[in-house]
Amino acid sequence: MKVVAHYDNLESQQFDGGPVKGVTGRIAIGQADGAPNFCMRIFTIAPGGHTPRHAHDWEHEILVHSGSGQVLKAGQWTDVSGGSVVFVPGNEEHQFRNNSDQDLVFACLIPKGAPEL
């Protein structure tokens, strides 16, 4: 069993530039842990930041941990905040943005075989 007291203790990677702004990513549970079927990442989007607007053939299962922001759903920005749940099926365009003044943090899970970070 792996227990991490807080995701802040996990190694992080910054994404900034091109289609991404102000995003920090962490692999929480992945292949290095022996996870056989799916991978949990934790993303932090700084105020004013955003993930890329894109689509890919794997799904996302997302729980917003803290903060607030918006997700692009069928071309419309939809509010999310701590406790929100988002399912992005494969091949559906999506993007997250932080239009608040505090960090937006969410867990985003992907199936095995998709790039972990």
Interacting residues toward a second copy by CB under 8 A: 1-8, 10, 28-29, 33-38, 40, 42, 59, 61, 63, 65-66, 71, 73-74, 78-90, 92, 94, 107, 109, 111-112
Torsion sign, CA atoms 89, 115, 111, 50: negative
Instruction: Enter the DSSP assignment of 11.
Output: -
94 half-sphere exposure, CB direction, 13 A CA radius: 19
- Toward a second copy, which CB reaches closer, 17 or 75? 75
Q: In angstroms, rounded to a whole number, what is the distance separating the alpha carbons of residues 53 and 68?
A: 18
CB of 94 to a second copy, least distance (A): 7
CB of 46 to a second copy, least distance (A): 17
- Toward a second copy, which CB reaches closer, 23 or 42? 42
